Structure formats: structure tokens, C-alpha cells
Amino acid sequence: MRTKITTYISGAIALAAALIWAFPVYWMLNSSLLPNTTLQSTTPQFLPVGGSFDNFAAVLSDGAFVQALGVSLAVTLATVGICLIVAFLGALAISRFRFRGRKSFILALLLIQMLPAEGMFIAQYKMMSSVNMLNSVLGLTVLYAAAVVPFTIWMLRGFVAGVPVELEEAAMVDGLSRTKAFLRITFPLLAPGLVASGVYAFLQAWNEFTVALVVMTEDQAKTLPLWLRSFIQASATRETDWGMVMAASTLVAVPVIIFFLLVQSRMSSGLVGGAVKG
Amino acid sequence: MTTQLSTPNPAKDRDRPDAVRPSKPPRSRARLLILPTIVLLVLALGYPVGWQLVTSFQEFGLKQQFGQAPEFVGFANYVELLSDANFWVVLGRSLLFCLLAASFTVLLGFLLALLMKRVHKSVRLILQIALLLAWAMPVVASMTVWVWLVDWRRGLLNWVLVKLGVDAQGHNWLADPVTFFITALVIVVWASVPFVALSIFAGLTQISEEMLEAAAMDGATGWQRTRHIILPVIAPVLSIVMLLQLIWDLRVFTQIKLLQDAGGVANETHLLGTYIYQAGVGSGSFGIASAVSILMLLITVGISWYYVRSLMKEEH
């Protein structure tokens, strides 16, 4: 009897916690569907009754949004590409070869991965400005790729190590060249790892704010997070069209949420390492 | 540039005569494989950190911005910083914020993980989905929502408080440093708890039900079971997530910067990250900004060392 009551109480607390954590996300969606006149009224409306997609239409027809979307997509995709190639080679090196300095290399990667962007961005700003690469998609991409590669190598090494070398060797005994054996046998087995790493790089580059704030100083070079920031800045001094801001945030967040759910478990196991045996 | 550097490797592999003997790989090949990583890291991180180290020993302010050569001043920047009361305030504030945020996050995450273990499967799934949603939110998108929630004109927070009988009509929570940091703390904890709760929950699933039941039958109370069975098993996870939170909460920048943008008093609400930004990009004192950055990197490496060593242990 007592256990039954505590189970109900636990259930109620758990549902309340779920409500708290999901609420901001819900509030974003709800506000994005409501017209600004409703949002500016004194009583909040908790359900998007009488809502529409007008706010989304307004965002999509905003030239500044389209421009920021272009910059964000270019930087993100380039980061994913560079990061996958560089990290794949690095992961291959540390999981297939035993070489002198291997341990220090891994140690350095893990330490670098912990370095805060805030401890380096002033110097990165000076460096980019000295080579005239402020506001350059390529410049930001290089900074992002370097920030993401260490953890990606760490994530990928498990996948590479998971493919037995014997499989590749057997294929070569059967007459395939090393390249062919790699492409036909190893690569397909690595695909899930590459997808997970690619999505991880995508999320990091798409969401990044700090470094972009420092290096992308001009309006036409703004990424989506920087563009969203301009609404927050504007809200300090004047009434904001919150419906449109929430629609914009939703557009930025939705691809992230979908991708995130795909790789979440792999990312966590990379971070907590051997502390949790899955 | 990096892509060009990295492409030759597979081609080289193909052309090498020894390529068909993978069991005895030449060491030089491994070096070739990590070359792109090293070039990228040196270019984008190594060079800036080196520049920062040099600049932290130089007089590098507005004059140097306009072309005057920087002058070496030894430890003058560090001395200036360490004798500046304002810097100590910022440092103390950052450490306090970091400790509070990390402790609340781990405590709440631990409690939620215990809760997930107790409740019915369907309730657990709802809670897990809610946590994942919050975790997945891009930080800037979630900040727009939080700024909208605490907006002093039409925000939901003030409406709820007024309904509860608090005189909060038109109150701007960001204008006062104390309520500014409470708001920031709530936002940072909200965003960090999901990772911690789900990681600890994954650790809890390693504890067998039989063991807990046996302990209960032997008369162990709930607290005793938590203390002697649950805690020892999840201690490694707890210490790792605590370390990660400490490192991440020390560098908190985006949330503070955006709350300042939304109406916070910047000068009274700086943490290390925004302080460096203000000194460097804001006022052009690159010497001072570099010195703070170097200190921040040193603190981070100090805290990270234990974490990195524990990750290395599984990598023989």
C-alpha cells in the first residue's frame, strides 16, 4: 500500500518535471503560431487557438533571414566535410596503428577539446583580422573544424576499432586491392559512425554563437544565431514582434532537435567514457 | 587547404608496394594520417594561443591598434590584473556561479535519475522526451524564449507572479545584478540537467533489482540502499559529470552575453568570458584580455586534467 502511494507521488513529480523542462520549447512553438496582437495582450494565451503560419511566412520572406541561412548552411556543411575527412584519418591512425607519440596525441586531443572558446577568441579575432579573414565563411569554417575535430576523432575511434582488420585482410586474400577491400568491407561498417560524427559536427557549427560573434562582424556575414541575437538586442529598447522571433527560433531549432535525437546516445557515451557501460 | 592536405593519403596507400601487408604498417603512415589534424589544430588554435601568450607579456592597447609596435612589459599585465579589485570580483563571481550551477545541476540530475528509476515506464518515457527536447534546443533559440518569458512588459513570468499575488507588474528582473544572475542560473541549470540526469540514469541501470530487493529484505532503509548500493556504483559517473559541469559552467558566455543584450547592466554582470570579450573586442586592451585568457586556459586545463586522465584509462 505504502509503495503504491509513493509510486503515484513519484509519478506526479516526474510529470511535473517533464512539464518544466518541455515548457520553454512548447512556449516557443505556441508563440510562433500566434499573431503579435494576441501576444501583446495582457492575458497570455496558452494554446495556439486561432493560430496561423503567418509568422513563419514573415520570417521566410525576410531577406536578412535568408542571407543568414545561407551563411549558416555554407559554414556548417563545410565544417562537416572538413571535419569528417580530417577526423576519419586521425581516428584511423590512433585505432589501427601503434606509433610513438600516439598516447600524447590522444592526451592532447582530449585536453584541447576541453579548452574554452572564450579563452582563445580574442586571439582568433586578431589572427583573422591580420589575414583579412574576418567575415569570411572559410575563416569561420577553419575555426569550427578545429574546435570539433578532437571530439570527433575520439568518437570515431571506437567505430574504427570495432571493424576487425581480419575482415579487410580476408577480402584482400580473396583478391581485392587494399582500397577496394576498404571501400567494400570497412567503409559500409563505418557508415553509422561517420553519420553520427557528421551530425555532431553539424550541431556544433549550426548552434555556435561565441566565435561567430567575434569573427563575423558585418551584417551580411551573420550566421543564424547572430541574426537571432539582433532580436534579443532590439527587445531591450522597444516592443518586439515576439511571434516572429519565436517562429525564427523554431526554424533554427527544428533541424537541430531532429538531428540531435539521432546521435544523442553516442555523444553521451563519448563524454562519460567508461564510467557507464552501455 | 586542409582538404588538399588530407586527400593524398588514400592515394599514397594505394601506390605503396607494402600496402598489401596491413599487419605490419609503417609508422610513417600513421604520422601522415594525423598530419591534417595537427595542421588544422596548430593553425586555428595553436597559433592564437601562442600569440596570446606573447601578447599577455606586452603592452598592447589602442596605440598598437593604430600601428605602434607592441612593447614587452614582462608580467606587468598580470600584475595589473591581480591588483585590480574589479578583476577579483569578476573571478570570484565566475567561480561562485560555476560552483552553484554545477552543484544544482548535478543534484537535480541525480534526483531526476532516481525518479526515473522509480516511476512507471510510460511516465519515464515522457520525462526522458521532455529532457531530450530541452537538451536539443540550440542555446540561442532557447535564449530568445527565456528572454521572452522574463520580458518585463508581456512576459509570462510576471503575469504568473501577479496572479500569485506578487507585485511584479512591469518589473525588469535583468536590471538588478542579483536577479540577473538568478535568472542566468535557472537558464543554465535548465539546459544542463538533461545531460546529467540521463547519464546518471544510464549508470543506475547497471544496478540489479535483485540486489536492491535483497537489501530491502535484510531490512535496509531507502537511505541505506542509496548510500551503500546506489552511490558506490554511480560514483564514477557522478564525478565525471560534476567535472564536466564545472568546466562548462566556468566558461558560460552565450547566456550571460544575451541576457546583457536583453537589458542587463553589462558592467555589473561580467563573468570571465564576457570580461575578456569586453576588454579585447570592446576596449581594445589586447594585452589585458590575453592575460585573462591565459589564466582562464590554465584554470580549465587544471580542472580538465583529472577528467582527461580518467578517459585515457580506458584507452590502453
pLDDT digits (tens, 9 = 90+) for B278-311: 998 888 889 999 999 999 999 999 888 888 887 7
Of A71-80, A136-145, A203-212, B66-75, where does mean pLDDT reach its minimum? B66-75
Contacts with B314 from chain A: Cβ below 8 Å = 273-274
Maximum distance among all Cα pairs of chain A, rounded to whole angstroms: 76
CB contact at 8 A, B94 and B75: no
How far is the C-alpha of A84 from the C-alpha of B308, rounded, in Å?
Answer: 23
Query: Exposed, middle or buried, B47 (CB in 10 Å: 0-12/13-18/19+)?
Result: middle
Write b or e for each residue in B90-120: b if 16 or more Cβ atoms lie within 10 A of its Cβ, otherwise e: bbebbbebbebbbebbbebbbebbbbbbbbe
Helices (H) and strands (E) in chain A, counts: 13, 0
Maximum distance among all Cα pairs of chain B, rounded to whole angstroms: 82
B253 CA to chain A: closest CA distance, Å?
7
Nearest to A76 by CA among A68, A66, A88, A64: A68
Mean pLDDT of chain A: 88
End-to-end CA distance of chain B: 33
Q: What is the mean pLDDT of residues A222-251?
A: 90
Residue type at position A273: G
Q: Which of the pair, A113 or A78, is modelled with greater confidence?
A: A78
Q: What is the pLDDT of residues A80-119, one digit of tens each?
A: 999 999 999 999 899 888 888 898 999 999 899 889 999 9
pLDDT value of residue B10: 41
A115/B45 Cβ within 8 A: yes
Q: Return the sign of the alpha-carbon dihedral for residues A167, B316, B46, B272.
A: positive
Q: What is the mean pLDDT of residues A227-238?
A: 87
B135/A260 Cβ within 8 A: yes
How far is the C-alpha of A251 from the C-alpha of A248, rounded, in Å?
Answer: 5
The pLDDT > 70 percentage for chain A reads 95
- Alpha-helical regions (H) of A98-164: 102-114, 121-130, 137-162
The pLDDT > 90 percentage for chain B reads 56
B-proximal residues of A, 95-134, CB under 8 Å: 96-97, 99-100, 102-103, 105-107, 109-112, 114-127
pLDDT value of residue B122: 92
Nearest-10 Cα torsion for B12, B16, B22, B25? -80
Nearest to A273 by CA among B196, B282, B140, B308: B308
Give the DSSP per-residue string, B159-225: HHHHHTT---TT--TTSSHHHHHHHHHHHHHHHHHHHHHHHHHHHHTTS-HHHHHHHHHTT--HHHH
Give the model's confidence band at B229: pLDDT under 50 very low, under 70 low, under 90 confident, else very high. confident
pLDDT value of residue B9: 40
Mean pLDDT of chain B: 86
CB contact at 8 A, B97 and B185: yes
Domain B77-313 in this protein, CATH class = mainly alpha
Contacts of A117 (CB under 8 A, 6+ apart): A147, A210, A211, B251, B253
Q: What is the pLDDT of residues B47-57, one digit of tens each?
A: 999 999 999 99
CB contact at 8 A, A258 and B140: no
Nearest to A206 by CA among A149, A246, A255, A245: A255
A106/B36 Cβ within 8 A: no
Fold of the CATH domain A58-275: MetI-like fold (1.10.3720)
A59 touches chain B (CB under 8 A): no
Nearest to B32 by CA among A115, A92, A200, A164: A92
B314/A273 Cβ within 8 A: yes
Q: What is the pLDDT of residues B250-272, one digit of tens each?
A: 999 999 999 999 987 888 899 99
